[in-house]
Amino acid sequence: QRTPPLIEALESLDSLKITTAILKETGVGKVVRDLKKSRSNDEDPVRMKAKLLVKKWKAIVEEEQKKEG
């Protein structure tokens, strides 16, 4: 069974080294967040993957903010 394209795209994003600057410049965080919100079923694999990605990126942003003081 073939992996859905949205899942493939989210997995590709997950493999990238993301920084706060990249998130701000590209707006990709907002797109992924909106994708997560657009899926009403909590069990939807796209929603679940997007949710994990948003959580991961939020942690990266918080960590960078701590380092900046």
pLDDT tens, position by position, for the chain (69 residues)? 888 999 999 999 999 999 999 999 999 999 999 999 999 998 999 999 999 999 999 999 999 999 987
Q: The whole model's pTM is what?
A: 0.89
Contacts with 42 (C-beta within 8 Å, 6 or more apart), sequence order: 48
**Cβ of 12: how many Cβ atoms within 10 Å?**
9
